Amino acid sequence: MDQKTIETKVDIYSFTELEPEIQVLINKAKEQINNAYAPYSNFYVGAAVLLENGALFVGNNQENAAYPSGLCAERVALFYANAQFPDIPVRAIAIAAYTDTDFLAYPITPCGSCRQAMLESEIRFESPIDIYMYGTECIYHIENAAQLLPLRFEKKSLEQNY
């Protein structure tokens, strides 16, 4: 038997420790909870994507009674950005979640589908995406989507002899 250890490095910040550009990105993600459509879960998620050219795109979760027909905030923002600028890499994404009466104290992490979409964007542009996950107590930062999805499925996984 062999064994493999997989580790993920998470940097933990307070809001004021972040660069002003990232603070703006997080605030844009937080604002997006107001536009989320979450009548079933009452779990509102906002996301903001910053492209290498400085363009900023936002998204929010959109639920549907016919689960899983809705879409997560991260993919809404990411796909919107890629549709508008198909040749510009994503530099960073920020994610914030709100439920009941406040933002979550500790960061929400992206679901598997969102992690896969972020990974595909990294592979597509050969450029890592900084991921910032907001919580009122702290902010998690991951240097790339591959860190969020260490046992990932990618194009080479489709090869017969991989």
Q: Is residue 62 part of a domain?
A: yes
Q: Is residue 5 part of a domain?
A: no
**Share above pLDDT 90 across residues of the chain, in percent, rounded to a whole number:** 83
Range of the domain at 144: 11-151
- What residue type is assigned to position 90 of the chain? V
Tell me the CATH number at 20: 3.40.140.10
Residues classed as catalytic: 74
pTM of the model as a whole:
0.93
Q: Is the pLDDT of residue 153 over 80?
A: no
User: Token pair 């979640």 is at which residue?
Assistant: 97
Q: Is residue 3 part of a domain?
A: no
59-82 in b/e form (b: 16+ CB < 10 A) is bbbbbeeeeeebbbbbbbbbbebb
Q: Is residue 156 part of a domain?
A: no
pLDDT level of residue 161 (50, 70, 90 thresholds): low
Q: pLDDT tens digits, residue range 6-54?
A: 889 999 999 999 999 999 999 999 999 999 999 999 999 999 999 999 9
Q: Is residue 57 part of a domain?
A: yes
Q: Are 6 and 28 in contact (CB under 8 A)?
A: no
Q: Are 33 and 97 in contact (CB under 8 A)?
A: yes
**pLDDT recorded at residue 42:** 94
**114 Rama sector, left if φ>0, alpha if ψ -120 to 50, beta otherwise:** alpha
Structural domains in the chain (count): 1
CA-to-CA separations, 47 to 31, 62, 151, 161, in angstroms, rounded: 9, 12, 24, 38
Q: Is residue 139 part of a domain?
A: yes
Please tell me the distance from the alpha carbon of residue 1 to that of residue 19, in angstroms, as a whole number: 46
